[in-house]
Structure formats: structure tokens, C-alpha cells
């Protein structure tokens, strides 16, 4: 063997060592080169050696992990996974997880009148909300609240059951949709007439495309003109429920008219058949569905509850009457989950709900923290004593910090702060809901966990802990479904349904 090819075991172990420290999430080539400070060629050589010895495996998105981590097995000493948290949670609160598989996601709403008016990937299945409402005796005279109402599945379902539905969502497109989906005092004939006017509107086009720089990449030029014509027609209608339904129909065709798909994040795709007619055809088809559903709804008018009450503001500060709500059902943004503003920026911009990139940034900064918030916001944030003093939050934050440091580079160096801020943002909402609920009422929360920089974050159970700090008791903890981590495909995450109860102050019957 030539002397120049002799390998120093210390450098080889450096690569293995750094991969090992990256734990469950693995590490990318770039991160590896930066952490080891070795030239790219040397990293490649050492990776090849380790792979040949089956010491490492390659998995999704070009990540490397030690073989022992592949498949989510043996995550290494000091790792706290779901089992550890579930056990501790049971010890502390006397509630263990129960498998209760059910459809909680939006998917089946495509076939449900009203709920199908605006597909919201992050939304609830109407069936789940209906079951939950029935379980807790919701009916005429009841009030149901969703503090993160999204497309309004909860308030809409409440109204269908004869109850009063209240919802809040800070993202204006969600508030617009939720409001429009809950207003059925519109005759199908009036809606049809308005739709026809929009489809036939002529005259000089006075509107220009939204401020988004990528518009010409996202939409073909003839499609942009057709969309603007439709928008102009919708704007010409008098303000009110009919116009809101037209806006909803318009919002609902934007992605289908573009070169984009939502799966669930926005991404480019190929759609060969887009023409100037596409927006008109899509709009007409969507309006026809709304009209058919209005006809159906009208037959059950006698059983409707009062019109839904939707607030386009933060549920942290939403003024709610104390002890006025009989049931709260919600699904908050998940920890390290979606950047809603990024994913709905097209709808927001085309409907003039935001008018600049600065507006988008402001909106993102006001939402429950996701991993796209500006650095300054995470850095300047000082969590309140409840979150700063919660041993689970502090452990998780310290573990993320350690792992990010060990990796050398990570998506965000301040990830631990983002996660801490996320929990701190949830706390005022939990407090607000607690105050609004009548004693004995339930707060049913669908939530998920996450794997962040090799640290398991039990978002569902930490939410419940904050609930207990606020005055709730934990009644039930059900696992509705399992899903795979985006960071490590072999690691199983979950979505759970946690039921919190506001105590009555009286001893509970056994
Ligand atoms: C998982 S989605 C809820 C979906 C909803 N359950 C449905 O059926 O459509 C979470 C929602 O929380 C909203 N959100 C985030 N931060 C908020 C805040 N501070 N106040 C109110 N809503 C917020 C997001 O805009 C998003 O629509």
C-alpha cells in the first residue's frame, strides 16, 4: 500500500464521532464538512469507508446516521423518547395513552357539504368534530369554541348541530373562509345570480397582479389576466355574505390555476392544460358546489344554530366572556410545524389581505412561533415563569441546544429558543380558553409531537402540562394516528387527542 494512502484512525473516527453525536436526525454532508473541518474529499473518503463497514447508513434528504440509529432503534444514551414521557406523564397525572385510531384529518371533508368549500390540509375532519360535540352533548343553546379555528370546521359543525360556534384565527384568509362557511342566510338563487354576474363581467381591467415577486413564475400570463377579471367581478359585488362566498370560491381556485400544488407545503408541479379559460371553469364549478350545498342546507334551516362568530385576531388576546363556553375543540399549530403564512401567501396576497412582504413578516411574527420566525424575535423573547420553569420544556430546549452545537450547523442555530417561544405563545391561549369555559367543561386538543435536532419534543404532553398549570385536569390521552418524522423516516411520531377538563370545584363522582 502506498504510504500516502495510509489512514489516520483519529480522522476517520472524527467523522463517525460527529455522525454519532447527530443522533436520530443524522447529519448532512455540508454539516459534516463544517463540523469536522475536513476537506470535502476527505469527508467523502471516510464516509465511503464507514459505509463499506456498514457503520453508517444514508437516509432521506442526503442525511447520514450511524447504522444503530437507522430505523429509529437504539437512539443512544440520554435520549428521552415517547415511552419515557408517557410513563412520566402517567406517574404525574395518572393518565396513560390509549390507542384510539380515527380519522382526524381534513381528507374526507372533500365529500362533505360546506366543509368541501375550501380544502384546508391542516383542518379537522368534520366527522371527528361532530363525534366530539355529540359526546359532550352539544346542541341547541350550547356554545362551542375553537381558538385556532382555521377553515372553521368547529364553528360550522356547531351551527349545523344547532349550537353557537365561535372561532378565532389570526391568519386573515382562514378567518375569511371560516366566516363565509358559516353564513347560510343566502338564497341559492341570489348566489347563482351573483356568480353569473362575476363570470360575465366585462369592461376595462383595472386591477394589477399582487405584490408577490414569483407571480409570473407561479401563473401563466393569460391565467393571471383571467384571475384578475374574476377578482374585479367579485369586488364589484356589494359587501356582505354573498360577496364573501364569492371570495371563498375565488380563493379556492388559486392553487389549481397555478403551477403549484399544496402537499401540504407549497411546491411547483407540472400542469400541462392550464389556459385562460381554466380560472373561469374552476370558479364556475366551485360556485356550483356552493350553490348545491346552500340548497341542501336550506332544507334544514330549522335546526341551524345562530350565525357563527369568527374573530380574525390572536386567540391569546381574544375577548371571551368568562364561563360562557360549553366545549372547546382545537388543533393548535404543531411544534416545529407549518409556516402558515408562507403556505397561504398566495391566497393572502390575491385577496389583498396582505399588501407587502413586510405585512407577511408582521403576520408571521404575531402567530404562534414556527421555525421561520425572524431571528430577532426568537432572540429577544423571554419566556414567562410557567414555561421557563417547566422542567420538560427546559430539558427539551437544552437537549436541542446541545445537539445543534454538536452538529456545528443546523437549519437554525436558535432552534431551542424557537421551541421555547412556541410553548410560551400557547400559554395565554390556554389561559383564555380556561377562563371562557364553564366549570366542568372540556377542552379537546388534537396535537402532535416532533423530532427536532435529535431531540424528541412531546408537544401534545407539554400542552397538557401547561393546561394543568393553568387549572385544567387531564381526563384522557388518546393516540389517534401515527406518522413518520420528516427528519428521520424511521422514527414514529403521533397525533393525539388530549381531553382537559375545567374542574367544578366539587369532588367528581367515582
Ligand atoms: C392546525 S390549524 C387549525 C385547523 C382547524 N382545526 C380546521 O379545522 O380548519 C392551526 C391554525 O392556528 C392558526 N393560528 C396560529 N397562531 C394563531 C394565533 N396566535 N391566534 C389564532 N390563530 C392562530 C393558524 O393560522 C392555523 O389556521
Query: CB under 8 Å, gap of 24 or more: what pairs does 295-299 form?
Result: 295/188, 296/113, 297/113, 297/114, 297/184, 298/184, 298/187, 298/188
Binding site membership of 118 for ligand 1 (Cβ less than 6 Å): no
Q: State in Å: Cα 372 to ligand 1 middle.
A: 16
Ligand 1 atom showing the smallest separation from residue 120 Cα: 9
Query: Does any ligand 1 atom lie closer than 6 A to the CB of residue 449?
Result: no
- Which grid coordinates are listed for 26? 443524522
CA pair distance 465, 50, nearest whole angstrom = 43
Phi then psi dihedrals of residue 226, to 5 deg: -65, -40
Does any ligand 1 atom lie closer than 6 A to the CB of residue 174? yes
Q: Which DSSP letter does residue 491 get?
A: S
pLDDT at 487: 66
Each residue's pLDDT tens digit, 319-356:
999 999 999 999 999 998 889 999 999 999 999 999 99
Separation of CA 174 and ligand 1 centre (Å): 8
Residue 153 near ligand 1, beta carbon < 6 Å: yes
> Which sequence spans correspond to the domains of the chain?
9-79
The residue whose C-alpha atom lies closest to atom 3 belonging to ligand 1 is 150
Tell me, what's the pLDDT at 60?
A: 58
d(CA 460, CA 495): 8
CA distance linking residue 180 with residue 351, whole number of Å: 14
Q: Is 170 in the pocket of ligand 1 (CB under 6 A)?
A: yes
Q: With a 6 A CB cut-off, is 314 part of the ligand 1 pocket?
A: yes
CATH value of 9-79 in 3.30.70.260, 3.30.360.10, 3.40.50.1820, 1.10.10.10: 1.10.10.10
Q: How does pLDDT run across 218-265, given as a tens digit for each residue?
A: 999 999 999 999 999 999 999 999 999 999 999 999 999 999 999 888
Q: How remote is the CA of residue 46 from the centroid of ligand 1, in Å? A: 46
The crossing angle, in degrees rounded to 10, of helices 188-200 and 241-253 is 60
Per-residue model confidence (pLDDT) at position 508: 66
Q: Which residues contact 346 (CB under 8 A, 6 or more apart)?
A: 212, 218, 254, 255, 258, 260, 266
Q: Residue with the nearest Cα to atom 18 of ligand 1?
A: 314
**Which whole-number Å values give the CA distances from 190 to 236, 237, 294, in the listed order?**
15, 12, 11
- The pLDDT tens digits for 132-175 are 999 999 999 999 999 999 999 999 999 999 999 999 999 999 99
Neighbours of 391 (CB within 10 A): 9
Helix ranges (DSSP H) in 258-356:
278-298, 340-343, 345-350
Q: Give me the DSSP letters along 219-243.
A: S-HHHHHHHHHHHHHHHHSPSSHHH
- Cβ of 341 below 6 Å from ligand 1: no
CA–CA separation, 281 and 258 (whole Å): 14
Start-end of H helices in 266-380:
278-298, 340-343, 345-350, 357-366, 375-379
- Looking from the CA of residue 344, the nearest atom of ligand 1 is 25
| CA pair distance 267, 301, nearest whole angstrom | 41
Atom of ligand 1 nearest to the CA of 330: 6
Which of 62-71, 320-329, 371-380, 463-472 is least confident?
A: 62-71
The residue contributing the CA closest to ligand 1 atom 8 is 123
Nearest CA among 10, 26, 136, 31 for reference residue 72: 26
- pTM here is 0.86
**83 CA distance to ligand 1 centroid (A)?**
28
Q: Are strands 143-146 and 164-168 parallel, antiparallel or unpaired?
A: parallel
Amino acid at each position: 500500500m502506498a504510504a500516502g494512502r495510509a489512514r489516520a484512525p483519529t480522522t476517520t473516527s472524527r467523522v463517525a464521532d460527529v455522525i454519532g453525536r447527530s443522533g436520530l436526525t443524522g447529519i448532512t454532508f455540508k454539516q459534516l464538512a463544517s463540523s469536522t473541518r475536513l476537506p470535502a474529499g476527505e469527508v467523502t473518503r471516510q464516509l465511503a469507508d464507514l459505509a463499506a463497514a456498514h457503520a453508517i447508513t444514508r437516509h432521506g434528504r442526503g442525511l447520514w446516521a450511524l447504522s444503530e440509529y437507522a430505523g429509529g432503534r437504539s437512539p443512544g444514551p440520554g435520549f428521552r423518547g415517547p415511552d419515557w414521557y408517557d410513563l412520566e406523564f402517567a406517574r404525574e397525572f395518572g393518565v396513560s395513552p390509549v390507542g384510539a385510531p380515527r380519522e382526524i384529518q381534513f381528507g374526507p371533508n372533500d365529500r362533505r357539504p360546506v366543509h368541501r368549500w375550501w380544502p384546508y390540509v391542516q383542518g379537522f375532519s368534520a366527522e371527528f368534530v361532530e363525534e366530539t360535540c355529540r359526546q359532550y352533548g352539544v346542541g341547541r343553546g350550547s356554545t362551542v369554541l375553537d381558538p385556532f379555528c382555521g377553515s372553521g370546521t368547529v364553528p360550522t359543525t356547531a351551527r349545523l348541530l344547532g349550537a353557537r360556534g365561535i372561532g378565532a384565527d389570526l391568519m386573515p384568509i382562514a378567518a375569511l373562509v371560516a366566516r363565509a362557511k358559516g353564513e347560510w342566510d343566502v338564497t341559492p338563487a341570489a348566489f347563482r345570480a351573483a356568480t353569473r354576474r362575476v363570470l360575465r363581467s366585462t369592461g376595462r381591467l383595472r386591477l394589477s397582479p399582487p405584490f408577490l415577486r414569483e407571480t409570473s413564475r407561479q401563473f401563466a400570463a393569460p391565467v393571471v389576466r383571467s384571475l384578475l377579471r374574476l377578482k374585479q367581478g367579485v369586488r364589484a359585488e356589494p359587501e356582505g355574505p354573498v360577496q364573501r362566498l364569492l371570495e371563498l370560491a375565488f380563493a379556492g381556485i388559486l392553487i389549481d390555476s397555478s403551477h403549484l400544488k399544496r402537499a401540504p407545503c407549497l411546491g411547483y408541479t407540472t400542469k400541462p392544460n392550464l389556459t385562460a379559460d381554466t380560472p373561469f371553469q374552476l370558479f364556475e364549478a366551485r360556485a356550483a358546489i356552493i350553490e348545491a350545498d346552500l340548497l341542501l342546507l336550506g332544507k334544514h334551516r330549522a335546526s341551524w344554530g345562530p350565525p357563527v362568530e369568527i374573530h380574525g385576531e390572536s386567540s391569546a388576546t381574544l375577548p371571551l366572556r368568562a364561563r360562557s363556553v360549553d366545549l372547546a375543540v382545537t388543533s393548535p399549530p404543531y411544534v416545529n410545524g407549518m409556516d402558515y403564512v408562507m403556505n397561504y401567501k398566495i391566497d393572502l396576497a390575491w385577496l389583498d389581505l396582505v399588501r407587502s412582504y413586510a405585512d407577511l413578516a408582521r403576520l408571521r411574527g404575531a402567530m404562534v412561533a414556527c421555525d421561520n420566525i425572524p431571528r430577532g424575535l426568537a432572540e429577544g423573547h423571554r419566556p414567562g415563569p410557567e414555561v421557563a420553569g417547566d422542567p420538560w420544556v427546559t430539558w427539551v430546549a437544552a437537549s436541542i441546544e446541545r445537539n445543534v452545537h454538536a452538529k456545528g450547523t443546523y437549519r437554525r442555530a436558535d432552534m431551542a429558543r424557537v421551541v421555547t417561544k412556541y410553548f410560551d405563545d400557547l400559554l395565554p391561549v390556554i389561559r383564555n380558553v380556561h377562563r371562557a369555559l364553564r366549570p366542568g367543561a372540556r377542552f379537546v386538543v388534537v396535537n402532535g409531537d416532533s423530532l427536532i435536532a435529535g431531540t424528541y419534543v412531546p408537544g401534545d404532553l407539554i400542552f397538557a402540562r401547561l393546561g394543568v398549570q393553568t387549572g385544567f385536569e387531564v381526563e384522557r390521552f388518546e393516540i389517534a394516528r401515527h406518522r413518520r418524522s420528516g427528519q428521520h423516516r424511521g422514527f414514529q411520531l403521533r397525533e393525539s387527542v388530549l381531553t382537559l377538563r375545567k374542574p367544578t370545584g366539587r369532588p367528581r363522582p367515582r
